[in-house]
Chains A and B, each alone.
Chain A
Amino acid sequence: MKRRIVQFIALLFTNSYFVAIPRATFYQGALKGVCVPVLNCYACPLAWGSCPIGALQHFVIIRQFPFYVLGILGLVGVFVGRFPCGWLCPFGWFQEIVYKLKLPKFSAPNWLRHMKYVVLVVVCGLVAWWTYEPWFCKICPAGTLEGGLPWLLWQARGSEGAEGMSFLTWVFGLKVLILAALVLLMGMMRRPFCRFVCPLGALLGLTNKFSLLQMDTHLDDCAIAYALGSDFKNCASCMHCSKDCPMGLKVPEEIGSVDCIRCMNCTSYGSVYWKMNLGQGGRGTDRGRAEAAAARGAAREAATATETAEKPEAPDSS
């Protein structure tokens, strides 16, 4: 719930040029030069900042090393790793909402996760370099949702900015098709775009390994394992924490992975902590320990309640 509120505030914050709505216009000020560390399309009429992937391709096209974009992303990354994906990115949140739809759910093979590096290097790098065109933007579903569709609406409302624009291009058709297919997929598997495609997630994820904010496991503290009777000794391999992971990770094994978005869902089982990495290692933070203790208490209560409910009534001996 806490995360939903933060995601909602982040959505409003990154898209806060509300004046654009009554006037069917868009933000044109100098803040458009500031990269936000999430996939928030800069063509969105309400956005005041720019998308790092759009900006990255822009630098590739003008043949300049993207010092500025990598500087911003790297600085965010060294402190919190892929945390913006879990808490701030509107498109990540959108995928979590769509996943709640009642559609058949299935998982995808793990190797697909490597595809996002191919997208980063080939589509955002090589193809942009050769063609002088931002090809990722042409197929980006976030751009369709946050930029293309609102601009179509703006045109229908007679906006000056959208005058003369033809949306009947094959690029627009392709973008809408990709978005539609992806929305269907989002309903059936967890965050497919973040896990398999997003070049921004690929970049930020690399910093997960040495960022200040780290995740760590202490499986002997797992509340579920305790409730299942393993008495704090071991992970009971029940996979409860993994089922709660929006990135489909096997949490006990993959907690330090480049794909962890630091959403903190798994910390509620007591077996995972967040901690600050400054070389001391250690056993999590005081807060982590307190959270674990609370989770253990709740699990113990739940286990006792289940036991009491399930205990057959003693036969009446009278």
Chain B
Amino acid sequence: MCPLSKAIDFLVKPDPARTATFFVIGLVVFEAFLIVGLVTEHFWETLSNGAMICLSCIGVG
């Protein structure tokens, strides 16, 4: 098992209750991220307007 895997295991896996606690924390944090992202950022404008093609993706720029 890789060291990163072991490190997260050490934090999360000592008992099933702790794994479930991390799940709940993750759920709350990422939900908050999504809400903050949708409410405050220019995501919709930046991706929905302007150049619709990423020139780097297609290798032109």
CB contacts (< 8 Å) of A318 on chain B: these are none
Cβ-defined partner of B54 (8 Å) among A29, A137, A211, A256: A137
CB contacts (< 8 Å) of B12 on chain A: these are 209-210
CB contacts (< 8 Å) of A238 on chain B: these are none
Cβ-defined partner of B57 (8 Å) among A54, A77, A167, A277: A54
Q: In angstroms, how far is the closest chain B Cβ from the Cβ of A103?
A: 26
Considering the complex, which residues of chain B in the window 20-61 have a beta carbon less than 8 Å from any beta carbon of chain A? 20-23, 26-27, 29-38, 40-44, 46-48, 52-54, 56-61
Q: In angstroms, how far is the closest chain B Cβ from the Cβ of A174?
A: 8
For the complex, give the distance between the alpha carbons of A74 and B53 in Å.
26
Contact B58 A211 (CB under 8 A): no
Cβ-defined partner of A77 (8 Å) among B4, B8, B26, B32: B26
Interface residues as binary, A53-84 with B (CB distance below 8 Å gives 1, 0 otherwise): 01100110010101111111111011000000
Q: In angstroms, how far is the closest chain B Cβ from the Cβ of A62?
A: 7
For the complex, give the distance between the alpha carbons of A211 and B19 in Å.
8
Q: In angstroms, how far is the closest chain A Cβ from the Cβ of B29?
A: 7
**Is residue A314 contacting chain B, with contact meaning CB distance below 8 A?**
no
Residues of B in contact with A, size category: 35 or more
For the complex, give the distance between the alpha carbons of A69 and B38 in Å.
10
For the complex, give the distance between the alpha carbons of A43 and B61 in Å.
13
Contact B9 A113 (CB under 8 A): no
CB contacts (< 8 Å) of A29 on chain B: these are 48
Q: In angstroms, how far is the closest chain B Cβ from the Cβ of A55?
A: 7
For the complex, give the distance between the alpha carbons of A62 and B35 in Å.
19
**Is residue A206 contacting chain B, with contact meaning CB distance below 8 A?**
yes
Contact B34 A67 (CB under 8 A): yes
Considering the complex, which residues of chain A in the window 35-64 have a beta carbon less than 8 Å from any beta carbon of chain B? 41-43, 50-51, 54-55, 58-59, 62, 64
Contact A138 B56 (CB under 8 A): yes
Contact A33 B19 (CB under 8 A): no
Q: In angstroms, how far is the closest chain A Cβ from the Cβ of B42?
A: 8
For the complex, give the distance between the alpha carbons of A165 and B58 in Å.
10
Residue on A with the closest CB to B4?
A: A258
**Is residue A207 contacting chain B, with contact meaning CB distance below 8 A?**
yes
CB contacts (< 8 Å) of A207 on chain B: these are 26
**Is residue A12 contacting chain B, with contact meaning CB distance below 8 A?**
no
Residue on A with the closest CB to B23?
A: A210
Known contacts A26-B53, A32-B52, A209-B13, A58 near B2 by CB under 8 Å:
no
CB contacts (< 8 Å) of B1 on chain A: these are 253-254, 257
For the complex, give the distance between the alpha carbons of A117 and B8 in Å.
14
Known contacts A257-B1, A258-B5, A166 near B19 by CB under 8 Å:
no
For the complex, give the distance between the alpha carbons of A62 and B41 in Å.
11
Contact B16 A78 (CB under 8 A): no
CB contacts (< 8 Å) of B17 on chain A: these are 279
Known contacts A167-B60, A209-B19, A253-B1, A71 near B8 by CB under 8 Å:
no
B contact residues vs A (CB 8 Å cutoff): 1-2, 4-5, 8-9, 12-13, 16-17, 19-23, 26-27, 29-38, 40-44, 46-48, 52-54, 56-61
11 new A-B contacts at CB < 8 Å, known A68-B43, A74-B29 = A43-B54, A43-B57, A71-B30, A74-B34, A113-B2, A117-B4, A166-B60, A172-B60, A174-B59, A209-B12, A210-B22
